[in-house]
Amino acid sequence: MIITDGSASVDRRHLLKAAGTGLALLAAAPALARAPLAGSQVAGVYRMKVGTIEVTAVLDGHLDLPQALFPKATDGEAGTLLERAALPRAPQINTPVNTYLVNSGDRLVMIDTGTATAMGPTLGQMPRNLSASGVTPDQIDVVLMTHLHPDHANGLITPDGKPFFPNAEVVVAGSEYDFWNDQGLMNQAPKDVQDFFRMAQAAVKPYAEARRLRRIGPDGEVVPGITTVAAPGHTPGHTGYRISSGDQQLLVWGDIVHIAAFQFAKPDWSLAFDTNQDMAAASRKRMFDMTATDRITVAGMHLPFPGIGHVLREGDGYRFVPVAWRPI
Amino acid sequence: MIITDGSASVDRRHLLKAAGTGLALLAAAPALARAPLAGSQVAGVYRMKVGTIEVTAVLDGHLDLPQALFPKATDGEAGTLLERAALPRAPQINTPVNTYLVNSGDRLVMIDTGTATAMGPTLGQMPRNLSASGVTPDQIDVVLMTHLHPDHANGLITPDGKPFFPNAEVVVAGSEYDFWNDQGLMNQAPKDVQDFFRMAQAAVKPYAEARRLRRIGPDGEVVPGITTVAAPGHTPGHTGYRISSGDQQLLVWGDIVHIAAFQFAKPDWSLAFDTNQDMAAASRKRMFDMTATDRITVAGMHLPFPGIGHVLREGDGYRFVPVAWRPI
């Protein structure tokens, strides 16, 4: 496949010759088919294999997070990090909401469910993308919840409060379930936070009433091939799920990162609405260290769609390297 | 949206309480829908807007390039660069073959066409992905060629040598057309390189015979909104295409880069089958400098699919930052 260096001088000769030929030795009238613009992006779906298990990233949409939600971020540092990510210096940073479908061949598992109608028209696209992936909600056996914030749990229910997944068991950390269902705690919270309590309660209620809600502890196997990894701080029972098959693993880590451009370089930058910012930072550092050391592929609900990649050490912090698009 | 720090102590109390609850307070029998594995990746299609123009990346597939094809690469440096890209240290590096569809609303343009059947079953998927993007070959008005290597030009024709795009005009640099159609040069070339000449000649022949082949010079507008950017070296007439609309630009730069993990950091690392390795390195450095300085978004035929992103300076070299998946 090698064109020898001997042809290089010929190239130059041909280039010089070509420079004199000008445009359009042979011209043709274009057909001007006027194909309509597609006008929309393709479906937000991407697949990978973890051993024999098929994992499908299913996009729920995008939201803008204000830089001001990161109390430790200075404008200078944030601007530098945005430039390093080739993003505009802007007070709002766009970030996706991802969900994941896990198919072992005999069990179909969703991890998180997106926002449904709770957060506007740029979100709530999980149902459409799930359909594009070839799966209907009634086929889902189990829904694993990383936590019960509305951008993860609202997709559990239809607008009239019915289960969106009519046959699924919902699995959630007991500590997470207890926190959001604590009426005393809710009554003490600021009014806008009370909405979060109400939404979390509404999302799990029909499943609990149907005795299709399973509370789990911080460690253990929740379905064959999937174990929990406790990562508290963002919320009290925030939980990652480790998918294992053969010698391969994928850690679906929930909300360890909200803005990839910021938090890999600055693991200390917790979010103002983490229930415990210090604990969230400790969980983030533990997850970064573990996945970088053990070279475990990660998937994150707010990493650039499909949200799958590798954590590498860089300087005092880390760097995220998205997986390259690949066939399976 | 902020849960106050006052709740942090409550979190810990709840966490402790939850730790004692164990698994499965409420259990339910899973439905076990046994949904079949999809077994294949989604279509290789991704869209973006450049002003009012819609650009669609259409994947042709993937190939493995041997590290040995980079004469300046040492095993040590190559290994370090692969690790920085979270890729395995391996003698073959996987890279995609991308094509691009450009729709201005009144003209439908393809840039390059993939491999057709010339390079095995991991390639030749442009027709299927073009179809998935909603476009039929007869709708294409113009095909712009970056160069006439078989992974770019073989998609011009069907297996029986007919035009794959029955209504399209093919546009190629005059210097590129002359080089591959020079029988004297072909006869002097090694046997395996002669195959490249034969394939290039066969790909353009039916268009030339139908007087639907347009030779162009190194600079100028080829269709409204698209101008050429000469980038010789990889081949004599290797050409990039600059798409402009309003204040936005996308430079489709062809084969300026073959392995992103190597050549952004090491712009000197030309490919053994560049017709002129020094000239290719000079074109690469000029393109990197221009796109980094002017912050021009680039698209490359061998950048990780969809192959669209930004060039940033880093140390003595550059770094590629892929665009984040976004709606349009």
Q: Which tens digit of pLDDT belongs to each residue from A83-111?
A: 999 999 999 999 999 999 999 998 999 99
CB interface of B with A, residues 284-313, below 8 Å: 304-306, 309-310, 312
Between A18 and A223, the more confident residue is: A223
Task: Report the DSSP beta bridge partners of residue B59.
Answer: B98
Is A47-322 a CATH 3.60.15.10 domain? yes
Show which of residues 29-48 on chain A sit within 8 Å of chain B, judged by CB atoms. 29-47
The stretches of chain B forming alpha helices (DSSP H) are 8-19, 75-84, 126-132, 150-153, 174-180, 183-188, 191-209, 260-263, 277-293
What ipTM was reported for this prediction?
Answer: 0.89
Identify the residue whose tokens are 């590498």: A312
Tokens (6 digits) for B124: 């030749």
Give the pLDDT score at B32: 64
Fold for domain B44-322?
Metallo-beta-lactamase; Chain A (3.60.15)
CA distance A170 to A148: 11
How many contacts does A have with B, using Cβ atoms within 8 A? Answer: 337
Smallest CA-to-CA distance from B96 within B280, B257, B327, B285 is with B257
**Confidence bin at A31 (pLDDT 50/70/90):** low
- CA neighbor of B28 nearest in space, from A3, A140, A111, A239: A140
Q: CA B83 → CA A313, B70, B253, distances in Å?
A: 11, 17, 26
CB atoms B21 and A232 under 8 Å: no
A33 pLDDT tier (thresholds 50, 70, 90): low
**Closest chain B residue to the Cα of A324, Cα to Cα:** B304
Domain boundaries, chain B: 44-322
Task: Note the pLDDT tens digit of each residue in A42-51.
Answer: 999 999 999 9
Give the angle subtended at the CA of B222 by the CAs of B219 and B223, to the nearest 5°.
Answer: 150
The stretch B271-297 carries a mean pLDDT of 97
> Which pLDDT tens digit goes with each residue over B141-156?
999 999 999 999 999 9
CA–CA dist A70, A270 (Å, integer): 6
Asked whether residue A24 carries a pLDDT value surpassing 60, the answer given is: no
Task: Judge whether residue B20 has pLDDT over 80.
Answer: no
Portion 107-146 of A in contact with B at CB < 8 A: 107-108, 122, 133-135, 138-142
Reported as a pLDDT band with limits 50, 70 and 90, residue B3 is very low
Dihedral sign, CA of A191, A196, A197, A201? Answer: positive
Which chain A residues in 240-269 lie under 8 Å from chain B, judged by CB atoms? none
Question: Does A16 score more than 60 pLDDT?
Answer: no
B51 touches chain A (CB under 8 A): no
Does the pLDDT of residue A13 top 50, yes or no? no
CA angle B281, B248, B130 (to 5 degrees): 75
Q: For the residues A280-306, what does the mean pLDDT come to?
A: 98
Pair A278, A270: CB distance under 8 Å: yes
> In a 3-state reduction of DSSP, which class is residue B200?
helix
A189 interface with B at CB cutoff 8 Å: yes
Average pLDDT over every residue of A255-267: 98
What rounded mean pLDDT belongs to chain A?
91
State residue A118's pLDDT score: 87
Distance (Å, whole) CA A238 – CA B326: 27
Q: Do A236 and B321 touch (CB under 8 A)?
A: no
| Average pLDDT rounded to a whole number, residues B77-105 | 96
- Token look-up 């113009």 returns B142
Look at residue B118 in the predicted model and tell me its pLDDT: 87
Whole-number percent of chain B with pLDDT over 90: 86
Question: CB B54 to CB A37 under 8 A?
Answer: yes
3-state secondary structure of A228: strand
Sequential DSSP letters for A192-224: HHHHHHHHHHHHHHHHHHTT-EEEE-SEEEEET
pTM for this prediction: 0.90
- pLDDT tens for residues B182-239? 999 999 999 989 999 999 999 999 999 999 999 999 889 999 999 999 999 999 999 9
Alpha carbons A199 and B24: distance in angstroms, whole number: 23
| Whether the Cβ atoms of residue A141 and residue B28 lie closer than 8 Å to each other | no
Distance from CA of A10 to the nearest CA of B (A): 8
How confident is the model at residue B31, as a pLDDT? 53
Is the CB of residue A326 less than 8 Å away from at least one CB of chain B? yes
Across residues A202-208, what is the average pLDDT? Answer: 98
Residues A225-258 have pLDDT tens digits of 999 999 999 999 999 999 999 999 999 999 999 9
Is A223 in Cβ contact with B26 (below 8 Å)?
no
